[in-house]
């Protein structure tokens, strides 16, 4: 079998990390990178911490030149957070008859906010015989799939709390902007009112995924968003907050059934939390029979977690039936420690 052929669209913090991870794996080749005009014509290796060595060079090009019909088995799309913004790019990939994995948070369960676009994406994928998946560390695993898996040992469930205390430091400029990193508390609150600040993207998707999985009919989803103001200067690779400004965002999500709070999301996140003594961690708390109180501390790092989730789901999306997939319609993620080709069904591979 030919090596698995991968194209990366977007070589920012996440895309470059995925490239570096793929270069360490067996049975897979990066055959193209689509990037912004200011990166086009340059080597992929100019933006990686990995040296090219004797590997073939990969020159960054425009999407139109790089993503051609059946050129690869999958495109890793790392450009957007929202389904509506990612739609045209996803459509372009699928119409080239290539599978797509996107890190766009809303695409983890797009029908939560974009039911009509969800239908369109599913129809386009099926018409072209390929599949599309949105995933990452969160949404995609920690605050939804992991919770769902843990309900599997319960006779009944009364209430769910999913808590993630994490660092934003590994993420790129887009996330810094969405979270309001570096702005004043007043500007933060104005941004919340006007909708300019999105904060964490994914509560509606995670709550809906959990509820649909276990058969709850959530009829109302709410969320709150408050600034985390730092009293010391903090600097991450892609963000800076001086003392008195916003270093993070404390968000909560609530899923109701007929007025009864059934699912709670608690998600404070900030750059350099360790600098001010904040311990990170992931928590699944289920009130039921039996009750569950699962703790992982420190957190699963968001950057490497998202990178690994997207790469490790490559075999599942290639093998999947055509259409829009989610983390609850595909086999569970797992690390790929052997040859990636060993996990691919020969008849499902695009590049033979």
Q: What is the pLDDT of residues 92-127, one digit of tens each?
A: 999 999 999 999 999 999 999 999 999 999 999 999
- pLDDT for position 199: 86
Residue 5 in tokens: 């052929």
Q: Of 21-35, 88-102, 194-208, which gets the smallest average pLDDT?
A: 194-208
- pLDDT for position 171: 81
Give the integer Cα–Cα distance in Å for 270 and 183.
Answer: 13
- pLDDT for position 222: 97
- Which pairing describes strands 74-77 and 99-102: parallel, antiparallel, or unpaired? parallel
Helix (H, G, I), strand (E, B) or coil at 83: helix
- pLDDT for position 174: 80
- Residues of the chain above pLDDT 90, percent: 95
Q: What is the mean pLDDT of the chain?
A: 97
Q: Of 194, 188, 170, which Cα lies nearest the Cα of 230? A: 188
Give the integer Cα–Cα distance in Å for 205 and 133.
Answer: 13
Q: Of 109, 135, 287, which Cα lies nearest the Cα of 209? A: 109
Residues in Cβ contact with 18 at an 8 Å cutoff, skipping those fewer than 6 apart: 8, 76, 78, 307, 310, 311
Length reported for the chain:
352
- List, for residues 170-192, the tens digit of each pLDDT value: 888 888 998 999 999 999 999 99
Q: How far is CA 27 from its chain centroid?
A: 24
- pLDDT for position 175: 83
């Amino acid at each position: 079998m030919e090596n698995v052929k991968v194209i990366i669209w977007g070589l920012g913090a996440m895309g470059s990390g995925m490239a570096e991870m793929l270069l360490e794996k067996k049975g897979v080749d990066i055959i193209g990178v689509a990037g912004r005009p200011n990166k086009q014509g340059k080597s992929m290796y100019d933006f990686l911490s990995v040296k090219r060595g004797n590997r073939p060079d990969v020159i960054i090009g425009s999407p139109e030149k790089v993503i051609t019909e059946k050129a690869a088995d999958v495109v890793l799309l790392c450009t957007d957070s929202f389904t509506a913004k990612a739609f045209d790019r996803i459509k372009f990939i699928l119409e080239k008859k290539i599978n797509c994995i996107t890190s766009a948070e809303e695409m983890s369960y797009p029908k939560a906010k974009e039911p009509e676009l969800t239908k369109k994406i599913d129809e386009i994928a099926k018409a072209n015989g390929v599949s599309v998946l949105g995933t990452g560390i969160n949404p995609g695993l920690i605050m939804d799939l992991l919770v769902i898996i843990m309900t599997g040992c319960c006779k009944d469930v009364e209430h769910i709390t999913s808590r993630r205390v994490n660092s934003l430091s590994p993420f790129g400029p887009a996330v810094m902007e969405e979270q309001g990193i570096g702005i004043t508390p007043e500007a933060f609150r104005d941004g919340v009112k006007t909708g300019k600040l999105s904060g964490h993207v994914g509560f509606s998707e995670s709550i809906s995924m959990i509820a649909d999985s276990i058969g709850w009919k959530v009829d109302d989803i709410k969320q709150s968003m408050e600034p985390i103001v730092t009293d010391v200067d903090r600097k991450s690779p892609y963000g800076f907050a001086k003392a008195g400004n916003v270093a993070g965002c404390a968000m909560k999500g609530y899923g109701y059934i007929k007025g009864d709070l059934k699912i709670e999301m608690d998600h404070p996140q900030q750059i350099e939390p360790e600098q001010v003594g904040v311990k990170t961690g992931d928590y699944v708390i289920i009130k039921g029979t039996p009750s569950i109180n699962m703790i992982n501390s420190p957190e699963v790092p968001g950057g490497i977690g998202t990178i690994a989730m997207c790469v490790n789901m490559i075999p599942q999306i290639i093998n999947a039936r055509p259409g829009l997939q989610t983390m609850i319609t595909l086999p569970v993620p797992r690390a790929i420690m052997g040859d990636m080709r060993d996990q691919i069904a020969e008849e499902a591979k695009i590049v033979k």
